Amino acid sequence: MKILANDGIADSGITLLVKSGHEVITTKVAQNKLADYINSNQVDVLLVRSATTARKELIDSCPKLKMIGRGGVGMDNIDVEYAKSRGLEVFNTPGASSNSVAELVFAHISGLLRQLHDSNRQMPLEGESRFKDLKKAYASGSELRGKKIGIIGFGRIGKAVGRIAFGVGMEIQVHDPFLENSDFEVHFADGQIINTSAKLLSMDEILKTSDIITLHIGGKAEIIGEKEITKMKEGSYIVNTSRGGVVNEEALDIALESKHLAGAAIDVFNNEPNPAIKLLMNPAISLTPHIGAATREAQNRIGIELASQIIALSK
């Protein structure tokens, strides 16, 4: 089969596909020219990440397309049910990037609690002239151990966050309306496995008692708005590496300005790739440009998982 990886694919995936007799094209085709390219090159499989969309119009325009694969968790950029109704196989790689996202969450959290995000802004500007003042300003950080982390959405990524939280001694409490229990396993480098569980709470309890809240849910519906932020614990933090839109950015900005919240971390934004400048300039926010799954290890796993699914489906 002929496979167009329009947003790229790791060499590990290409190697596996080529060995199985498939052709892989990594040419980046503009969205408005994609249908013509697929048809003129007789592409059987379209692979995307977050940049390319596969909507009804594209699906209707490419009657010979057999599969659409998404390298990552979310399928918001694909009309999944419509594609399936037209006989296409649609798949993603839900587990490949869980650890990468979880580690980014803790990079943000650790930085926020020690004010590294702001220190890294100020040291190049004033470190030479105001070193002692900055030392005093950033001397009021706090530790992760003993903090209550509230995880909203306890699927693959939520559990990966829980494992790291367990390892650093945090109290883990979760909210997930689709779960009956919050059991999870923690695997250690020496082969040990510990079976444990988080405290399963209502949304209100999570909001009122958590020192840090992190979201790991599907869809783009607003989960944390002005009402929810008001309920959050005074001086707490919120992390969004999930989806743009699940946190009301305007309400978040107001809560940070009023000091009701001590800080926030954002990897995903409402208006990507043009985030609100007010958020970008807020010194209480730790910022990254949608890089949750963007590690070499995760991209290798994604490539292998995509290739394995194509090979299995093609048989």
Rounded Cα distance, 75 and 48, in Å: 10
Tell me if the bond preceding 273 is cis, omega within 30° of 0: yes
Rounded Cα distance, 76 and 298, in Å: 20
Rounded Cα distance, 148 and 141, in Å: 16
Q: Supply the residues annotated as catalytic.
A: 243, 272, 290
**Pairing status of strand 45-48 against strand 2-5:** parallel
| CB-neighbour burial class of residue 158 (10 A; exposed 0-12, middle 13-18, buried 19+) | buried
Beta-carbon contacts of 136 under 8 Å, excluding residues fewer than 6 positions away, are: none
Distances (CA, A) of 238 to 67, 113, 246, 253: 37, 12, 12, 12
DSSP symbols for 57-108: HHHHH-TT--EEEESSS--TTB-HHHHHHTT-EEEE-TTTTHHHHHHHHHHH
Distances (CA, A) of 172 to 142, 206, 210, 236, 275: 18, 10, 9, 15, 31
| CB-neighbour burial class of residue 72 (10 A; exposed 0-12, middle 13-18, buried 19+) | buried
Q: What angle do CA 254, 255, 260 make, to 5 degrees?
A: 145
Residue type, 215: L
313, 83 contact by CB (below 8 A) = no
Rounded Cα distance, 285 and 117, in Å: 8
